[in-house]
Amino acid sequence: MIRKIIIFVFISLVFLVTCNSNDNHIKEISDFSLIDLNPNSPTFNKKIGPSYFKGNITGYYFGDAG
């Protein structure tokens, strides 16, 4: 029983230390723009980047289009 309490306290302390309230701000990435090469995309052949999708959650994949 004591062992479970010690493990619980340890996990709780790790959680509290890693959840620093000063880190609750949005971090922006560098802006860039690339030509959309996906023919099925509504932005096909347009230069787009993070600023195009400002305010939205985005993901980026850089791969070989050929």
The contacts of residue 29 (CB under 8 Å, 6+ apart) are 50
Burial class (CB within 10 angstroms; exposed 0-12, middle 13-18, buried 19+) of 38: exposed
Cα separation, 10 vs 28, in Å, equals 33
Q: Measure Cα distances from 15 to 11, 12, 24 in Å.
A: 6, 5, 15
Q: pTM for this one?
A: 0.45
The residue ranking higher by pLDDT, 27 or 42, is: 42
Give me the pLDDT at residue 9, please: 80
Q: Mean pLDDT, to the nearest integer, of 28-47?
A: 87
Q: What is the pLDDT of residues 6-32, one digit of tens each?
A: 887 878 777 776 666 565 566 666 788
Residue 44 has pLDDT above 90, yes or no: yes
